Each structure stands twice: as C-alpha cells, then as structure tokens.
C-alpha cells in the first residue's frame, strides 16, 4: 500500500460481512456487491479508477467494469476465477463450509491462503488472530454462501478494459487452471503466472527478499 501510494491514490474498503462493514443479511447478489464499489467511489469523489481485484474481488471487478466501463481505466486481477462452483459440487458444499467454519479462528484457512504447510507457533497465532479480527464464524459462512453464487460467464467476454491477470501455479485456493480460463475469456488480457507464490501473494513477501 505504501509503495502504491507513492504514485497513486489508494482507495480500500471492507467488503460486506467483514471488518468494519455491516454483517450480511440474506444472500446479496454480485450485482448488489458491485454497487457497494460504486457507492464507495462516489463517496470519495472518484470518477475513474484502476481496479485491483483479489480472489472473489476479480469477478466483482469484472462486473463493475462491464457495468460502468467509463469509470475503469485498467483492471488488475489476482488469483481470480469466472465462476465460484468450479471445484466443489453443490451436494458437498454445505459439509465443506461447515467444516471450514468450525475451524475458523484457528488459522487453518489462512494457512492455505498464504501457502504455509506446517507453520511455527508464532505464524499460526498471527493467522488465527487475523481470522478472528476479520469476521465471526457465522459471518464467514455468510460470505462463503454469498461467494458461492458468483458467476460472470455471461459478461466476461464483453469486458474491454485493459486487463492484467496474475496467478500462481501453486495456488491452493483457486487452481491455476481457473486463472488460465479467465485470461482466455478476456479480450486482449495480459496474463502472468508465478512459480512459487501462494493464493495470497499480496500478503506474502518473496522468499529471500523482503523488499518485493
């Protein structure tokens, strides 16, 4: 954030259900969540921006750019996908979600995100705290149910904003095959694959170099 702020204005917000934002009521559609982005941009007086989307923020950014093409100059998408039901069949989703929620606050979910196999006591304590501070177990389940509905297949090929996609080959949360599908679907997109960074590459310094 500090490096980006040297040459750009950074606008960041807590999405629905997490951080200081209100908890989720019902199952808001992706269109409603995209309107949250518009509301934030309007509130801070931003008419045009570069959207940086991470994970489920990628389809949100794509839908925003398709809905408001005059308000987006460029897209940067990290660890993205077209539809959220790519790996877990509907019949298994509830059981898997309940298992993840039962362990929420232990750091186990964030271990996958940041690419830690085992982890020291200090690392696990930090990841556990990260989970607990971000949202409650019930709120996280609501976010999972909300994300499950994501599908931008109908609009992705209509996106005409200059787009850069970044994806890791070892992503344990969103398989690299999903990133490739997304890149193939966006006209003129530039796609870069990383060899050894996790899903949460924005959260993890490069090995052996704390500056990058």
The predicted-structure confidence for 96-150, as pLDDT tens digits, reads as follows 899 989 999 999 888 888 888 777 889 889 999 989 988 889 888 888 888 888 9
Bridge pairing between strands 72-78 and 49-54: parallel
d(CA 157, CA 209): 37
Q: Which of 133, 144, 137, 36 is nearest to 85 (CA)?
A: 144
Q: What are phi and psi of 52, to 5 degrees?
A: -110, 110
* For range 51-80, the mean pLDDT: 95
d(CA 206, CA 212): 6
Q: Is 206 helix (H, G, I), strand (E, B) or coil?
A: strand
E-only strand ranges, 11-157: 49-54, 72-78
State both tokens at 105. 């606050």
Does residue 73 contact residue 50 with C-beta atoms inside 8 Å?
Answer: yes
Is the pLDDT score of 76 beyond 80? yes
d(CA 102, CA 81): 26
pLDDT tens digit sequence for 155-181: 999 999 999 999 999 888 899 999 999
Q: Which residue has the higher pLDDT, 209 or 39?
A: 39
Widest CA span of the chain, in angstroms?
A: 48
d(CA 175, CA 41): 31
State both tokens at 167. 């994806």
Task: Check residue 21 and give its pLDDT.
Answer: 83
d(CA 105, CA 107): 6
Is the pLDDT score of 212 beyond 60? no
What is the pTM (predicted TM-score) of this model? 0.85
The fourth-level CATH superfamily of domain 4-87+149-194 is: Alpha/Beta hydrolase fold, catalytic domain (3.40.50.1820)
Average pLDDT, the chain: 88
**Cα-based distances in Å from 212 to 13, 25, 142, 209:** 24, 39, 34, 6
Confidence of residue 207 (pLDDT cuts 50, 70, 90): very low
Q: Which of 61, 86, 79, 203 is nearest to 134 (CA)?
A: 203
Confidence of residue 198 (pLDDT cuts 50, 70, 90): confident
Q: Half-sphere exposure of 155 toward its Cβ, with a 13 Å CA cutoff?
A: 19
């Amino acid at each position: 954030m500090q490096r980006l702020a040297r040459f750009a204005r950074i606008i960041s917000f807590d999405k629905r259900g997490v951080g200081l934002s209100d908890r989720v009521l019902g199952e808001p559609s992706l269109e409603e969540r995209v309107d949250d982005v518009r509301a934030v941009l309007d509130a801070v007086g931003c008419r045009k921006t570069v959207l940086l989307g991470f994970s489920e923020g990628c389809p949100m950014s794509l839908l925003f750019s398709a809905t408001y093409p005059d308000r987006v100059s460029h897209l940067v998408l990290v660890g993205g996908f077209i539809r959220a039901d790519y790996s877990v069949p509907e019949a298994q989703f509830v059981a898997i979600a309940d298992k993840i929620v039962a362990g929420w606050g232990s750091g186990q979910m964030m271990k996958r995100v940041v690419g830690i196999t085992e982890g020291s006591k200090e690392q696990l304590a930090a990841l556990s705290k990260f989970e607990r501070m971000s949202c409650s177990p019930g709120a996280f389940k609501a976010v999972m149910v909300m994300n499950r509905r994501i599908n931008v297949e109908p609009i992705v090929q209509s996106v005409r904003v200059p787009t850069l996609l970044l994806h890791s080959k070892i992503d344990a949360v969103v398989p690299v095959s999903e990133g490739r599908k997304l890149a193939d679907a966006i006209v003129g997109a530039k796609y870069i694959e990383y060899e050894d960074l996790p899903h949460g590459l924005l959260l993890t310094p490069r090995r052996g170099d704390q500056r990058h």
